[in-house]
Structure 1
């Protein structure tokens, strides 16, 4: 078929419009658009790179070319890089800026000490050993300080090398202040990290969800309320809360927030268990309905107070008095009723179900008191249910000292990490000083950035870092040869190199980070003093020396990281649970004192820290791992009983009942001690169930409570205390069975 008249036959494929130049432009547009979409998915990394690049370049250009102060320019730039890149400060833009400004006094002290101790190698090494440990160990006081610690280390490392020049201390401190202020402004106003819901708001949401669950008094299951309860409860898990918002510092408000979190999550679990344990047509008893209404009112009052955030005077805020007045007779009456039915309830099914609403009411009371303490009301300890708030009377320095000394043990992974870093940095400083390395601080920087918590991870990091540094050194050497001493070219290239390096490092891995930083260092130092291509191999040698030192320290100091320590800390927690069982039971029987939970608290903190580090380390995924969180649950249950039971009204007057309670507690404690021994020796954990409570023996000695006895009220209180203790021991037995099955 011939083509239509006036057309030209096609002899080949159609060429794209614009020819080769158009194809190149379209390809470039595609790459730019593809990169833009990719960077949008990494907004946090790109935003941080932009903030650090702008702040460091402004600081450097102002000091180097505006004021002509080279020392000040170096310190201003490295301050921004250390606190913006090397540090991992969590939080929103506002929170990060506040953390940077809060670190200013400590930074001034570190730079001053580094400058003064550089007079002799031995002084600098000793200072590095002490300061390296102190700065790393300071991470025990909260995620923000822990995130800033690596950057703060660099503030001592940079000035502690020759030449010994105390006359430049003014420039060094001025550069640090300028860099810190510029970084804080960039964090706050330049592509800032978005604000996150405050922890108090999360608590308020969970309290509202608990109130909605408590509004259900029978009938079809409240599916939406269940979903909301699970959602808000999960939002309070430490793994779900942004690190900067976690109540992890040793302040009184944060301790009260953690206490309120435990109460509201337990409240949600008890209410859901209560509703799911009955059928859809079940009608609750009037006293249960009254308690649920009291729980709802108390939880809503706590939520309102948390959202308002107004500081409270003593006695203000959410009150639990009405709920407590309703709870006391219900607790006593149900205890008497439960004891009468134990003969047909040796498996405690009835007892567990009847106790759900009482335990929920207890949690609501604790939530209200903890909320008042969060908002500044220290009088909560005077409440009838305030025996678990003994820490409310502690002063700030006591709380901080208690936190700092909690990890001051070789069994703490934080203590181990601090020792490992201090040893590595001090060794690196000694080697750099004795060998008179030209840029010795690079050796310490490599040790600081490449040392990991296990020797396996350190070796992996060293391999990547050396490869990246080698490539970066080759590129840096080529750049120095081509550009030579033309400062204008370096000044133009510096922001581009910084931006690419600070984006590629977090996104592409350690090799890219080391290679990019090598280029940044070469471009920066070429503008400070005359350099040649030999700067690149010097950088490579220094990184190699620092890597070997970090690897050697990793092999010497706890090379397995938390792999072994997590088992020890969980065994220690099981022993602490056993001790808490015996201690609490003795106080219940003897009716002495309030709660002091120092030992169980410390064991829980050490176990949680070791588990958190364990999950962050490389390990053999093919090997079956114990379900360690189930041990943490047992620890929390033991602490809850230690807080609540000793302060309860009533007294176990019968010697036979007291003896039975002691025997039951001793058997449960013995089972936990047995588990602790098995964990310490790495022996297999038996899967058979723990010995159940001997309810028949209790029935043989428990006195009946006559209906019309003149001392019925006192006997009912005694029965309530006994039943609460039985429920607590039963819960710990169930925890032990779960641990054994899941291990």
Structure 2
């Protein structure tokens, strides 16, 4: 019996048992102990379901426990042990900002590493906030610049993006009066203590479990590809195909934990992403090879030889990914030389054979099928070279296929500069969000300074936490926050009036209030989070300085002011969020694909020109980010095209730009070159037409993309004799031509799918 069936059976048996008990306990013969037994059963039920609830929400509960333990320890040591109130406030708010407000992804070890890595930046932010608090205008300008920089820094990876809200708070807290540079030492000491305690808590107090590293996922996919390549004919390998599809899905960006994604601009991470794209394509080609030709099939000897080479290369790559922890030495690691030597003659032979059959294959069915194993071998070569590059071997660019790794020649500063400037455009949703947050925080700081609000820090905190990417979402957040703050203010006012100045009571209550607030907020929603945080603030500040019940309405007013500022910024700065940007970014991607088709074809035909991948990469990144934000924004049902299919088209265009210009051979026939240019121009024109349609938001795109005119190619392609001094040279040129045809055919198929969806 399966586990699911067992669970169903147990559930059914439980229902029957409870019904039987209820029947036995009802009626005239009910014993006096019935209510007691019912109460016991009810307690057991609540305990059991409570235990399952805690297990289901382990991450939220664990984070609440860690933040509570670290912040209370920091506060008690500084406030009651050392008697330093300023240090206690900064230590506590450091833990809260980086542990509760921030959303740092990853396991306990990864989160602790991120917190410790942020120490230098935190010291700088607190120092700048302290020094710029001398004047309101200086604090506002600093808030504008630093607010943008911290939010924009999220472009460099999920960990930095997750830590950004907490890092904002490290500048916001010291940039308010009183201007007290003499307390900078306490502020920095409190920050360091809080960060270290939080890192220890992340590592040792209910730490989030480790997840498989991206290299392990990549190695699993390579092993799955090797098992598929071991199949050399006969019925499809059902088990191996299922394992391969599972391994491919595990590498999908949506399935990889954010902290494990190769998202930084380093060479190693770029090589990881490159290898992942290669192995996913490898699995797709092997899947199509084994399932696209019927239940039984015998492979030709050259196909079997390539499959064996793919299997060996993939296994070597998987072994290196699992075992290597140091840089490769010359001659070490996986090698693609043997596979490349086997692939070159097969590519040329199949090109000659396929050209002879094109007259009866105007829909390219035969060509696609014959090219599957060749494309799979290409991907296996790229996987091996990407593995060597991520393990430190930059000599891969000297490989015959090394032209696909142009970024291996770039320095670290160049790669980081490209990443930071990639989103520096108003068409980037990350740029828009950074501007929205910076403007909102600067406006909140200006208003808090001009109105001389008693706790202006809370105004900026409300603006920071309540501003959303759309005005409707911001308004929804503001309504919930005000409701929660109002309830929390009433409870906090009552507590302050009842307890008065008895610090011992506040010290005992603080851990309980923190634990409840940091657990209920993520689980129950924004209203609970704001209400709970209001109680936390009241309990904390009551131990720092004498306060009265009037602190609660001050908190409510500050949250109201911050909410209105956030709402105003949401109405002024890109109020629709990514809803309009996603179409513009996809239109820009279509234009970039069209330009890439032209550049690639020119380099294939004329062997001249330069790589233009930056524009396409930038368009792909901007389109992917806008789509991700659009999908995360709550909105009414809207009919949208199949945007992921367009991202696939962009990757197909990039794959051709990487591979084709560096292939051996030349297209010497002017007629053949003219046909290839014409076919590429027509495909590019279709993508530009789609871009125009997306910009104008028309109902349906004009026309439908036409398949490649293979008969026109046959009319100009010269026959290749089997026995001639230049047969080998002409066969290599034919292989380059057919590789280009397959590339254009894939882009045309992507476009046809998009037209059908629209």
Match of 2:395 in 1: 379
Structure 1 CA distance for aligned equivalents of residues 183 and 354 of structure 2: 79
Match of 1:141 in 2: 156
Structure 2 CA distance for aligned equivalents of residues 24 and 276 of structure 1: 60
State whether residues 489 and 535 of structure 2, in contact with CA within 8 Å, keep that contact through their aligned partners in structure 1. Answer: yes
State whether residues 318 and 368 of structure 1, in contact with CA within 8 Å, keep that contact through their aligned partners in structure 2. Answer: yes
Match of 1:360 in 2: 376
State whether residues 154 and 445 of structure 1, in contact with CA within 8 Å, keep that contact through their aligned partners in structure 2. Answer: yes
Match of 1:390 in 2: 406
1:735 equivalent in alignment to 2:726: no
Structure 2 CA distance for aligned equivalents of residues 396 and 510 of structure 1: 41
- Alpha-carbon deviation of 1:685? 2.9
Aligned-residue RMSD, C-alpha: 1.5
1:18-167 equivalent positions in 2, closer than 5 A = 31-167=46-182
Structure 2 CA distance for aligned equivalents of residues 286 and 390 of structure 1: 34
State whether residues 594 and 646 of structure 1, in contact with CA within 8 Å, keep that contact through their aligned partners in structure 2. Answer: no
- Cα offsets for 1:250-273 (capped at 9, x unmatched): 111100000001000000000111
Secondary structure of the corresponding residue to residue 562 of structure 1:
coil
Structure 1 CA distance for aligned equivalents of residues 570 and 690 of structure 2: 31
Match of 2:32 in 1: 15
**Counterpart selection for 1:501 from 514, 517, 527:** 517
Indicate how the Cα distance of structure 1 residues 209 and 13 shifts in structure 2: closer, same or farther if over 3 A, else same.
closer
Match of 2:474 in 1: 458
Match of 1:552 in 2: 568
Indicate how the Cα distance of structure 1 residues 29 and 62 shifts in structure 2: closer, same or farther if over 3 A, else same.
farther
1:681 equivalent in alignment to 2:696: yes
- Alpha-carbon deviation of 1:282? 1.8
**Counterpart selection for 1:263 from 253, 278, 287:** 278
1:162-201 equivalent positions in 2, closer than 5 A = 162-201=177-216
Match of 2:544 in 1: 528
- Cα offsets for 1:425-460 (capped at 9, x unmatched): 000000000000000000000000000000010000
Aligned residues: 731
State whether residues 314 and 379 of structure 1, in contact with CA within 8 Å, keep that contact through their aligned partners in structure 2. Answer: no
**Counterpart selection for 2:528 from 507, 512, 523:** 512
State whether residues 236 and 296 of structure 2, in contact with CA within 8 Å, keep that contact through their aligned partners in structure 1. Answer: no
1:306-345 equivalent positions in 2, closer than 5 A = 306-310=321-325, 311-345=327-361
TM-score (norm 1): 0.97
Match of 1:646 in 2: 661
1:650-665 equivalent positions in 2, closer than 5 A = 650-665=665-680
Match of 2:11 in 1: none
1:446 equivalent in alignment to 2:462: yes
Structure 2 CA distance for aligned equivalents of residues 211 and 89 of structure 1: 36
Secondary structure of the corresponding residue to residue 152 of structure 2:
helix
Structure 2 CA distance for aligned equivalents of residues 438 and 279 of structure 1: 76
Structure 2 CA distance for aligned equivalents of residues 388 and 377 of structure 1: 15
Structure 2 CA distance for aligned equivalents of residues 378 and 653 of structure 1: 33
1:298 equivalent in alignment to 2:313: yes
State whether residues 445 and 456 of structure 2, in contact with CA within 8 Å, keep that contact through their aligned partners in structure 1. Answer: yes
- Cα offsets for 1:275-330 (capped at 9, x unmatched): 11223332111001100100111101100000012321244311100010011011
- Alpha-carbon deviation of 1:17? 7.6
- Alpha-carbon deviation of 1:469? 0.1
State whether residues 231 and 237 of structure 2, in contact with CA within 8 Å, keep that contact through their aligned partners in structure 1. Answer: yes
State whether residues 596 and 612 of structure 2, in contact with CA within 8 Å, keep that contact through their aligned partners in structure 1. Answer: no
Match of 2:14 in 1: none
- Cα offsets for 1:157-189 (capped at 9, x unmatched): 000000000000000000000000000000000
State whether residues 244 and 283 of structure 2, in contact with CA within 8 Å, keep that contact through their aligned partners in structure 1. Answer: yes
Match of 1:565 in 2: 581
Gap runs ≥5 in structure 2: 1-26
- Cα offsets for 1:129-154 (capped at 9, x unmatched): 00000000000000000000000000
Structure 1 CA distance for aligned equivalents of residues 577 and 722 of structure 2: 62
- Cα offsets for 1:337-371 (capped at 9, x unmatched): 11111111111111111011110000000000000
- Alpha-carbon deviation of 1:463? 0.2
**Counterpart selection for 2:386 from 367, 370, 380:** 370
Match of 1:203 in 2: 218
Match of 1:286 in 2: 301
- Alpha-carbon deviation of 1:32? 4.5
Match of 1:6 in 2: none
Match of 2:8 in 1: none
Structure 1: 4+ residue segments shifted above 2 A: 10-19, 22-37, 313-316, 592-596, 684-689
Secondary structure of the corresponding residue to residue 579 of structure 2:
helix
**Counterpart selection for 1:347 from 355, 363, 370:** 363
State whether residues 675 and 685 of structure 1, in contact with CA within 8 Å, keep that contact through their aligned partners in structure 2. Answer: no
Secondary structure of the corresponding residue to residue 239 of structure 1:
helix
State whether residues 604 and 661 of structure 2, in contact with CA within 8 Å, keep that contact through their aligned partners in structure 1. Answer: yes
Structure 2 CA distance for aligned equivalents of residues 682 and 16 of structure 1: 72
State whether residues 278 and 382 of structure 2, in contact with CA within 8 Å, keep that contact through their aligned partners in structure 1. Answer: yes
State whether residues 125 and 427 of structure 1, in contact with CA within 8 Å, keep that contact through their aligned partners in structure 2. Answer: yes
- Alpha-carbon deviation of 1:617? 0.1
Structure 2 CA distance for aligned equivalents of residues 349 and 52 of structure 1: 60
Structure 2 CA distance for aligned equivalents of residues 31 and 601 of structure 1: 53
Indicate how the Cα distance of structure 1 residues 595 and 323 shifts in structure 2: closer, same or farther if over 3 A, else same.
farther
- Cα offsets for 1:97-126 (capped at 9, x unmatched): 000000000000000000000000000000
- Alpha-carbon deviation of 1:24? 7.4
**Counterpart selection for 2:732 from 713, 717, 731:** 717
Structure 2 CA distance for aligned equivalents of residues 34 and 270 of structure 1: 47
State whether residues 312 and 377 of structure 1, in contact with CA within 8 Å, keep that contact through their aligned partners in structure 2. Answer: yes
State whether residues 312 and 372 of structure 1, in contact with CA within 8 Å, keep that contact through their aligned partners in structure 2. Answer: yes
TM-score (norm 2): 0.95
Gap runs ≥5 in structure 1: 1-9
State whether residues 387 and 595 of structure 1, in contact with CA within 8 Å, keep that contact through their aligned partners in structure 2. Answer: no
- Alpha-carbon deviation of 1:533? 0.2
1:581 equivalent in alignment to 2:597: yes
State whether residues 295 and 364 of structure 1, in contact with CA within 8 Å, keep that contact through their aligned partners in structure 2. Answer: yes
State whether residues 593 and 646 of structure 1, in contact with CA within 8 Å, keep that contact through their aligned partners in structure 2. Answer: no
Secondary structure of the corresponding residue to residue 263 of structure 2:
coil
Match of 2:15 in 1: none
1:221-232 equivalent positions in 2, closer than 5 A = 221-232=236-247
Match of 2:21 in 1: none
Secondary structure of the corresponding residue to residue 563 of structure 1:
coil
State whether residues 358 and 710 of structure 2, in contact with CA within 8 Å, keep that contact through their aligned partners in structure 1. Answer: yes
Structure 2 CA distance for aligned equivalents of residues 383 and 663 of structure 1: 32
- Alpha-carbon deviation of 1:34? 3.6
Structure 1 CA distance for aligned equivalents of residues 56 and 346 of structure 2: 55
Structure 2 CA distance for aligned equivalents of residues 681 and 149 of structure 1: 36
